[in-house]
Amino acid sequence: MVETNGMTTMRRLGRTDIPISAVGLGCWQFSQGGGTLGRFWPVLPQETVDRIVSVSLAGGVTWFDTAEAYGKGRSESALASALTAAGKRDGEVVIATKWTPVLRTAGSIRSTIAARLENLAPFGIDLHQIHHPFSLSPIAAQMHAMADLVEAGKIRSVGVSNFSAPAMRVAHRVLASRGIPLVANQVRYSLAYRRVETDGVLETARELGITIIAFSPLAQGILTGKFHKDPALLRSQPGPRRWLNRIRHGSLAKSRPLAVVVEDIARAHGATPAQIALHWLVRAHGDLVVAIPGATTPEQAWENAGAMKLRLDEAGMARLDEASRPFLG
């Protein structure tokens, strides 16, 4: 593992030999307008997607997280195309995707894997995740279906997303009965949302050797400070995000003191607020937590990757911890 600035920039995915960078790239924004989730983002030209991926790779990002639900597979295809354009081959990057469980049984984990592999070709699936704990089948049946895919050589490892601590334990136990580890739980986690530290998820992950993958690590942009400076930006977000962001008007007042601290520390270190927020997240718990910020521009992608190169002292880390304590519950 590579260590810089008081943290390892490369980690192992759970208890596997799969190396991943502390900061990956979330690819929801590559949905190309497809399906319900695709309407949350502007449609990005493939040329822009290519540039975002290329810049991320240049910044040290080694892995990418997508999902079946992101544009009904369009994000997977756009990602594969961008990686190919960047000259990457299967095995040179790590690919994570997710199965959509809503109104489905575990049987569709097996029946949809061909589509996942087709969309991502020529790249394989290093991590396959259950997107939500909302399947019509019990967790045990889902884990056995995932284990079947591992044994068939269709995927390399198994993860979950949005699972509670008790659900993590069930998934872990079932997979262990097949000799397969549960390697990741992807959850909402940021300086502005630290509930995983108090609901048992982080503790369970540490105990069982499960990587925490933090989605929404910048709290949908709240931690960049841009909405505090210009609340009108909340109304300019695309599609359903415009409605969701209206809810955040009430949270701006609560998060403003935290945003001020983040910006002050960023200024002192010649960094951006986004880089400070990401750096704290992937460093505060050793190698346990990695983050997958998204990016709709190459500039954002480069900025996010730069979080791995910061030198933030312990005083700065402690100040961020203290300022974000109102968000523990």
Tell me the C-alpha distance between 282 and 108, whole Å.
34
Return the exposure string of 158-176: e unless at least 16 CB atoms fall within 10 Å of the residue's CB, then b: bbbbbbbbebbbbbbebbe
pTM exceeding 0.85: yes
**Catalytic residue chosen out of the listed positions 28, 63, 70, 193:** 70
Tell me the C-alpha distance between 296 and 85, whole Å.
18
The pLDDT tens digits of the residues spanning 199-221 come to 999 999 999 999 999 999 999 88
Confidence tier at 247 by pLDDT (50, 70, 90): very low
Determine the pLDDT at residue 246: 44
Confidence tier at 4 by pLDDT (50, 70, 90): low
Q: Where are the domains of the chain?
A: 3-221+272-313
Tell me the C-alpha distance between 38 and 265, whole Å.
35
Is-catalytic flag, 189? Answer: no
Average pLDDT on 275-287 reads 98
HSE-up (13 A, CA, CB side) for residue 219? 28
Is the four-CA dihedral 197, 199, 204, 207 of positive or negative sign?
A: positive
CA nearest 168: which of 201, 138, 199? 201
155 contacts 123 by C-beta, under 8 angstroms: no
Determine the pLDDT at residue 36: 79
The pLDDT tens digits of the residues spanning 186-196 come to 999 999 999 99
Element (H, E) at 188: strand 182-188
Residues forming beta bridges with residue 291, ordered by sequence position = 23, 214
Determine the pLDDT at residue 134: 96
Average pLDDT on 90-103 reads 98
Element (H, E) at 260: helix 249-268
With pLDDT > 90 as the criterion, what percentage of the chain qualifies?
A: 84
**Which CATH architecture group holds 3-221+272-313?**
Alpha-Beta Barrel (3.20)
